[in-house]
Structure 1
């Protein structure tokens, strides 16, 4: 009887530990997805102002007024 109890307990504990590993993997996947969304939003929000800043620097460096993108200063 004790052997049957020990086998059942080991089986249940093994199953529970496997499910926790799966849940942890899902949690990490959700975190990675959220981080990717934050990065994409930040790049979209900051991208325009960074482009303008680099264009300004390019105009200052290139005194002829033409930039690589064909814009004039």
Structure 2
């Protein structure tokens, strides 16, 4: 996870350095916002996946107990 975040950060910094002109400022801001959204989605997806996994495990246990 850290390695992918580091790669994303390096790409964002490279983009920021390449576009230091005034006309590229909006693009850098969009890239920063996209980077934050990707980070939030990555964090949220792992939390959501573990929640779904535990819910399905509980459901499977209840179905198994019902059928026994």
**TM-score, normalised with respect to structure 1:** 0.52
Higher helix share: 2
Kindly name which structure, 1 or 2, has the bigger radius of gyration based on alpha carbons.
Answer: 1
Q: Residue 69 of structure 1 aligns with which residue?
A: none
Instruction: List aligned pairs for 1:1-73, cutoff 5 A.
Output: 8-55=21-68
Unaligned runs of 5+ in 2: 1-19
| CA-based RMSD | 2.0
**Greater relative contact order (Cα < 8 A, sep 6+):** 2
**TM-score, normalised with respect to structure 2:** 0.54
Unaligned runs of 5+ in 1: 1-6, 56-73
